[in-house]
């Protein structure tokens, strides 16, 4: 009698939740996108949570933790690593802000939400960017867009 082999557990755990908000993308697809980014960055182990929140909750987080007024697109709390080297982080995304940004940049809202997942995942892994206009030309932004094209904006999705 042969023993059944259990699948090896995924060392990059990503949980995606919608805290009373609706998003136009399946949460499992966004979790897999974050795991793909972690693999591309060669992060061996991670525990990330991605939570979609209302504009009100985003504004509260933004004020309390960053001292800014109003809702923002994404806030990441990079919590560091545990003794085993597991990257730990919490990512909060506001779909309302994502929708406005998608419209302003003339991209689809699904693409903008995916961009924010990639952005938050990079921050959780320690990547940083300037807060001024240089943000969109920073190494982090270039890496974000490269990963987004690689894992989300495939030729079939561009059509």
Q: Are strands 87-93 and 12-18 parallel, antiparallel or unpaired?
A: unpaired
The secondary element (H helix, E strand) that includes residue 18 is: strand 12-18
The pLDDT assigned to 78 comes to 96
- Cα angle vertex 10, ends 8, 13, to 5°? 155
Contact 45, 11 (CB under 8 A): yes
Q: What are phi and psi of 116, to 5 degrees?
A: -70, -35
The confidence score (pLDDT) of residue 158 equals 42
Question: Which of these, 114, 91, 102, lies nearest to 17 by C-alpha position?
Answer: 91
Whether 130 has a pLDDT exceeding 70, the answer reads yes
Q: Residue 13: which of 40, 41, 43, 53 has the closest Cα?
A: 43
The strand pair at 12-18 and 74-81 is best described as unpaired
What predicted TM-score, i.e. pTM, was given to this entire model? 0.91
Confidence of residue 2 (pLDDT cuts 50, 70, 90): low
Tens-digit pLDDT profile for residues 22-34: 999 999 999 999 9
pLDDT in tens, 80-123: 999 989 999 999 999 999 999 999 999 999 999 999 999 999 99
Write down the pLDDT at residue 106.
95
The token duo for 136 is 């969109």
Please say if the pLDDT value at position 18 is more than 70: yes
Give the E-state strand segments of 73-117 in sequence order. Answer: 74-81, 87-93
Question: What's residue 20's pLDDT?
Answer: 87
> pLDDT tens digit string along 51-82?
999 999 999 999 999 999 999 999 999 999 99
């Amino acid at each position: 009698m042969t023993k059944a082999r259990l699948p090896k557990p995924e060392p990059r755990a990503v949980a995606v939740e919608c805290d009373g908000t609706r998003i136009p993308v399946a949460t499992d697809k966004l979790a897999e996108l974050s795991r793909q980014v972690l693999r591309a960055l060669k992060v061996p182990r991670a525990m990330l949570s991605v939570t979609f929140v209302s504009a009100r909750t985003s504004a509260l987080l933004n004020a309390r933790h960053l001292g800014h007024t109003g809702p923002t697109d994404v806030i990441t709390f990079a919590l560091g690593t545990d003794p085993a080297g597991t990257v730990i982080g919490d990512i909060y995304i506001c779909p309302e802000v994502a929708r406005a940004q998608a419209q302003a940049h003339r991209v689809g809202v699904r693409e903008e939400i995916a961009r924010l997942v990639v952005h938050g995942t990079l921050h959780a892994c320690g990547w940083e960017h300037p807060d001024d206009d240089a943000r969109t030309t920073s190494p982090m932004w270039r890496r974000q867009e490269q990963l987004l094209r690689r894992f989300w904006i495939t030729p079939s999705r561009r059509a």
